[in-house]
A and B are shown apart, each in its own frame.
Chain A
Amino acid sequence: MIEVKGLYKDWKEFSLKKITLEIKKGEYFVILGPTGAGKTLLLETIAGFYIPDKGEVRIDGHEVTELPPEKRNIGFIYQDYSLFPHLTVEENIVFGLKLKKSSSPDTNRKRVKEIMDRLSISHLAHRYPSTLSGGEQQRVAIARAIAIEPAILLLDEPLSALDPRTRDYLREELKRVREELGITMVHVTHDQTEALILADRIAVMMHGRIAQVGTPYEIFNKPLTDEIADFVGVENIVRGVVRSNEQGIAEIEVDTGTIFAVSEYPAGEVKVCIRPEDIILSESRGESSARNVMRGRIKELHDMGPLTRVKMDTGLVALITKQSRENLGLQKGDEVYATFKATAVHVVR
């Protein structure tokens, strides 16, 4: 458990103002906020790289506010991986193990091998970081951090520098690490989808303050202020139940029908998330490769400059360009078909 109480810190152009947080043991906690909100500074202060100007930090009930980072039993992962460039992959991973009191060359070697196997990086053992791809480097960084079996893993935008495919893959990897190790994870990001998919709870951070703390459902459906709503974007989040799953395509029953989604969940209650910009509107049910088509009536049309927000009676919200709206001649009360691909549907528990 991590407790942050009344924390203040000024550093360069960033500042933290009266931060109070409670992160539960084993929780996946995401700190979500725009660039410059002070997220990284908060994470680095929890890690002990900075001493706060005011306030305190507690880990598992012990006050650690002025304890140096090496005594906090934490793992830290940066966006740019921060691998030691003069050490091989293997040497990077064993770095923290060698410093442990219980360390011996034999047990260390075993442990490094086990971790490299788990993250499928054994073939990179003798390479230097500069020869690895971004995804490989990040897997090494994860391996290095979890090798010392930290109580807490702190992640600073760990997926931001990766290409979309690798990002999806590593996102699942992070989920797996949490599930297998039961470790407390604190993950900083500016990406709403990432927060939505990974988080048990989210803290929205703005201008150096915590603006809202809650479950993803609460944050995206009941943002406390307009500013938060504006930042997190309007997401379609619908509760549903997985009825079947064939070859990774889940059939999910929701109030207004059935939604197909790419998901591993075989059964049970889930939340289905679709970004408004991923929904295509049309007047007739045309042929397409998209798996999901839902009929509904337009309940509201909201003008947003070049874009129009369309709210349907099924609860779905779509975002289309003004041009499309004019071409289709959309009016309140019109019947339209909302189409979206199974890959555009994010399923979370």
Chain B
Amino acid sequence: MKVLLRWSVEKVKREKIFLLSLFLGLFLVAFVVLTLGNMFYQQAEDVGGLIAAATDPVVLKAIGISLSMALASTLIAFLFGVPLAYFLARKELWGKSIIEGIVDIPLMIPHIVAGIALYGVFMRYGLIGAPLRRLGFVITDAYPGIVVAMLFMSFPYLVNSAREGFKGVDPRLENVARSLGASHWRTFREITFPLAFPSLLNGAILSWGRAISEFSAVLVLAYYPISAPILIYEKFTSFGLRASRPISVLLISICLVIFVVLRVLHRRSK
């Protein structure tokens, strides 16, 4: 209260642009808080429903699938995305902006369209699906299908964040490390990678969060085994809000805890 009282007229005048910015910005913050807060509040009146959901093996399995498949997707994105990001950050070549444009495509197309395109490629008779099936691998309506859909929709977040991270590492630091006798690979391992790591972790967090939330593309490619967003949708269309809400609250709560932990780690790594 003391702090508020110290706001004199002069101070308000001097800071008016910031006050206006804050006022307008709070609109978006309130948007998120109100929506989720309302859902949690309503659920609080139905604790029984929440407990039932939290002990339902179908629900737990669906959430488990979502978290673990998203983790698999993020690891694959990391494995291939980090090298791509390093290359894009360091090398100039003709057509580089084309590669960067292609990387951004999944961010721009409707997810349902991406799902249909993926289905065309990975279905049993698809371009990649057919040869894989001959080798005994089935993608659609199986765990790999979930990962494929998540990966396609989420890897650009990782690549873009990692690329900016690598760009932020001064090439002169790499030059000095080389002059001190470190090979290119060793320089990457001991200088470039650790310095870019906060951005890589940030990209991985974004990518993982995006993967969990993917619905449309997963719906088309792998309705089963049923993952959390699809289970929530199924409950909503069949039994309504009361049935779908507890699973939503559960999923969000778990994700929030993991996000907070990762954000703290991210901060530390800086």
* Most chain A CB atoms below 10 A, which of B177, B179, B184: B179
Q: Does B175 contact A68, Cβ atoms closer than 8 Å?
A: no
Q: How far is A150 from B180 in the complex, measured between Cα atoms in Å?
A: 9
Name the residue of chain B whose CB is nearest to the CB of A69.
Answer: B178
Given contacts A49-B175, A99-B186, contact A148 B170 (CB under 8 A): no
**A interface residues, tally (CB under 8 Å):** 26
For residue A145, which residues in chain B have a CB less than 8 angstroms away from its CB?
179-180
Given contacts A82-B173, A86-B195, contact A76 B179 (CB under 8 A): yes
Does any Cβ of B come within 8 Å of A85's Cβ?
Answer: yes
Does any Cβ of B come within 8 Å of A335's Cβ?
Answer: no
Name the residue of chain A whose CB is nearest to the CB of B92.
Answer: A12
Q: Does A70 contact B181, Cβ atoms closer than 8 Å?
A: yes
Q: How far is the CB of B121 from chain A (nearest CB, A)?
A: 41
Name the residue of chain A whose CB is nearest to the CB of B195.
Answer: A86
Does any Cβ of B come within 8 Å of A295's Cβ?
Answer: no
Q: Does A85 contact B181, Cβ atoms closer than 8 Å?
A: no
Q: How far is A69 from B179 in the complex, measured between Cα atoms in Å?
A: 5
Name the residue of chain B whose CB is nearest to the CB of A141.
Answer: B176
Q: How far is the CB of B26 from chain A (nearest CB, A)?
A: 34
Given contacts A47-B175, A82-B170, A99-B186, contact A148 B180 (CB under 8 A): yes
Q: How far is the CB of B91 from chain A (nearest CB, A)?
A: 13
Q: Does A85 contact B195, Cβ atoms closer than 8 Å?
A: yes
For residue B72, which residues in chain A have a CB less than 8 angstroms away from its CB?
none
Does any Cβ of A come within 8 Å of B194's Cβ?
Answer: yes
For residue A150, which residues in chain B have a CB less than 8 angstroms away from its CB?
179
For residue A74, which residues in chain B have a CB less than 8 angstroms away from its CB?
179
Number of A-B residue pairs having CB atoms within 8 Å of each other in the complex: 62
Q: How far is A99 from B182 in the complex, measured between Cα atoms in Å?
A: 7
Does any Cβ of A come within 8 Å of B183's Cβ?
Answer: yes
Q: Does A78 contact B183, Cβ atoms closer than 8 Å?
A: no
Name the residue of chain B whose CB is nearest to the CB of A86.
Answer: B194
Does any Cβ of B come within 8 Å of A337's Cβ?
Answer: no
Q: Does B176 contact A78, Cβ atoms closer than 8 Å?
A: yes
Does any Cβ of A come within 8 Å of B2's Cβ?
Answer: no
Within 8 A of A (CB), among B146-195: 170, 172-173, 175-184, 186, 190-191, 194-195
Residues on A lying within 8 angstroms of B by beta carbon are 44, 47-49, 68-70, 72, 74-76, 78, 80, 82, 84-86, 95-96, 99-100, 144-145, 148, 150, 154
3 nearest CB pairs, A to B: A96-B180, A76-B179, A69-B178
Given A69-B179, A96-B181, 13 more pairs with CB closer than 8 A: A44-B175, A47-B179, A48-B178, A75-B180, A78-B175, A82-B176, A84-B176, A84-B195, A95-B182, A99-B180, A99-B186, A145-B180, A150-B179
